């Protein structure tokens, strides 16, 4: 098995430390970007859909264990996010998705799915309007995460990682 | 047969893996409250919290100067307030002595700082650097200078996880400080609401909301927030009262755990909404 497959799991730990210590300081109206999704999307585009789905499961499990949230909600949401990002891991277009602003669009799609699925599993409220849930709890955090991922695109080395 | 299975696997392996992993996730959700799972989680967060506490200390140092100035000002305000309350206290003690009512006992406070925040829209959770070694127990209320922050949900030796008021799994019995009306408060994912309050009850925007004496979780009055509005006014017989919390959960750095545990005797007699 290729050892580079484990790199995102190792990178997860510094990323989650940032996520739970520094990121809450830059929240806007309680909306917080999710750095773990950026990591997940990046490595999913590089390594394919099956890898992304399994990586989403592992990162979700670690996320739930470390943050003390409902165990399982991030597992499912990040598995779905990894699966979604996997649709953009076409070998011929990998560079296009990783090194252009398309990366932020993929992050937006994955982050919205992650936030919506997470909200559904951790806060089922039958009276809540689903569209409202998608916009408030899915789109806004997703948009913030996508904006943050622009930094990755800007500072991405031209010849590396692949 | 094997060939057919292999063919199906080849064609749909991404979907098969997705479904299997989601089913595993659902199974994990269903065993969330098992003691063994709780132990694993307590071990995981305690191990990790040790490293995050160092980083959060470094981040917090930058805010200490402004915090100090703010706290000095607050101290002066509180000193004036205490003087006034001391006068009331003396009169109160005399009056209570005359009619024979028992006074409330003083509660111990355990100081702690927040080492990690996981503030998703529905599951607000904080990790604090005080645990069972410091006297912290599951169910204890956590406060700061602004009001009630949340309730201790899980503990390890040196750390504890706190469910904030912005957590959908936390429901509290609260009351309107002015009209003394009780109700159940919960987080909907976007706002704090007191649910199913009959329309005939006297609750108005601007009223202060505090924890209720009826609560088996927090039976001492702690400030929670202020009523900002009534919703669902036109339909049905119940109002939903929207509450703006005093605490700014994104900016919480230092807290106190109140040394108050749930009354088992009371729990046996009443419904305890926290455990539901």
The number of helices, as runs of H, and strands, as runs of E, in chain A is 8, 0
Give chain B positions within 8 Å (CB) of A17: 51-52, 55
C-alpha dist (Å) from residue B201 to A133, B193, B207, B227: 30, 15, 13, 14
By CB atoms closer than 10 A (0-12, 13-18, 19+), residue B106 is exposed
Q: Is the pLDDT of residue A138 over 90?
A: no
Give chain A positions within 8 Å (CB) of B52: 17, 20-21
Interchain pair A68, B45: CB under 8 A: yes
- Per the listing, tokens 């949340």 go with B150
- Per the listing, tokens 């509180």 go with B78
Q: Is the pLDDT of residue A125 over 60?
A: no
Least CB–CB distance from B118: residue in A20, A86, A125: A20
Distance from CA of A27 to the nearest CA of B (A): 7
Average pLDDT, chain A: 84
H or E element that contains A122: helix A102-122
pTM of the model: 0.71
Nearest-CA neighbor of B231 among B263, B176, B192, B259? Answer: B192
pLDDT tens per residue across span A50-109? 999 999 999 999 998 888 777 888 999 999 999 999 999 887 887 788 878 889 999 999
| pLDDT confidence of residue A161 | 45
Least CB–CB distance from A79: residue in B21, B37, B125: B21
- Per the listing, tokens 């959908």 go with B168
Interchain pair B17, A133: CB under 8 A: no
| pLDDT confidence of residue B47 | 79
Q: For residues A8-22, give the mean pLDDT.
A: 89
How does pLDDT run along chain B (276 residues), one tens digit per residue?
888 888 888 888 889 999 999 999 999 888 887 888 877 877 887 778 777 777 777 777 766 777 777 788 888 888 888 888 888 888 887 887 777 766 555 678 888 888 888 777 777 888 888 888 888 888 889 988 888 999 998 888 888 889 999 888 888 889 888 888 888 998 887 788 998 888 788 888 898 999 887 877 777 888 899 999 887 666 667 778 899 999 888 888 888 898 876 655 555 555 555 454
Interchain pair A32, B119: CB under 8 A: yes
| pLDDT confidence of residue A76 | 94
Interchain pair A83, B14: CB under 8 A: yes
**Cβ partners under 8 Å of residue A109, min gap 6:** A84, A85, A142
Q: Give the chain A residue nearest B28 (alpha carbons).
A: A72
B262 touches B143 (CB < 8 A): no
Q: End-to-end alpha-carbon separation of chain A, Å?
A: 17
A64 vs B174: CA distance, rounded Å: 30
């Amino acid at each position: 098995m290729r050892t580079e497959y484990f790199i995102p799991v190792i990178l997860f730990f510094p990323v989650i430390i940032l996520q739970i210590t520094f990121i809450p300081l830059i929240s806007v109206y309680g909306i917080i970007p999710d750095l773990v999704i950026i990591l997940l999307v990046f490595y999913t585009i590089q390594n394919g859909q099956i890898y992304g789905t399994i990586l989403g499961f592992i990162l979700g499990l670690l996320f739930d264990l470390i943050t003390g949230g409902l165990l399982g909600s991030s597992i499912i949401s990040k598995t779905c996010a990894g699966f979604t990002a996997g649709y953009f891991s076409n070998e011929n277009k990998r560079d296009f998705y990783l090194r252009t602003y398309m990366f932020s669009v993929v992050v937006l799609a994955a982050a919205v799915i992650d936030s919506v699925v997470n909200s559904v599993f951790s806060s089922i409220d039958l009276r809540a309007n689903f569209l409202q849930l998608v916009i408030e709890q899915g789109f806004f955090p997703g948009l913030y995460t996508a904006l943050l991922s622009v930094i990755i695109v800007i500072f991405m080395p031209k010849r590396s990682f692949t | 047969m094997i060939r057919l299975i292999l063919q199906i696997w080849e064609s749909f392996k991404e979907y098969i893996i997705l479904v299997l992993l989601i089913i595993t996730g659902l199974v994990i959700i269903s065993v969330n409250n098992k003691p063994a799972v709780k132990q694993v989680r307590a071990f995981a967060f305690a191990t990790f919290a040790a490293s995050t506490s160092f980083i959060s200390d470094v981040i917090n140092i930058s805010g200490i100067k402004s915090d100090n100035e703010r706290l000095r000002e607050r101290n002066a305000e509180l000193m004036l307030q205490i003087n006034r309350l001391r006068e009331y206290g003396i009169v109160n003690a005399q009056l209570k002595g005359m009619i024979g009512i028992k006074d409330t006992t003083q509660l111990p406070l355990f100081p702690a700082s927040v080492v990690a925040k996981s503030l998703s829209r529905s599951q607000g959770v904080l990790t604090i650097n005080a645990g069972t070694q410091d006297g912290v127990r599951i169910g204890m209320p956590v406060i700061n200078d602004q009001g009630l922050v949340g309730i201790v949900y899980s503990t390890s030796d040196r750390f504890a996880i706190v469910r904030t008021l912005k957590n959908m799994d936390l429901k509290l019995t609260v009351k309107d400080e002015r009209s003394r009306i009780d109700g159940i408060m919960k987080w909907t994912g976007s706002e704090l609401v007191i649910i199913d309050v009959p329309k005939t009850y006297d609750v108005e925007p601007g009223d202060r909301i505090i924890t209720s004496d009826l609560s088996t979780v927090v039976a001492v009055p702690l400030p929670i927030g202020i009523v900002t509005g009534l919703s669902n006014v036109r339909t049905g017989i119940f109002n939903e009262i929207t509450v703006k919390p005093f605490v700014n959960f994104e900016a919480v750095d230092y807290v106190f755990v109140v040394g108050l545990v749930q009354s088992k005797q009371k729990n046996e007699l009443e419904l305890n909404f926290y455990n539901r």
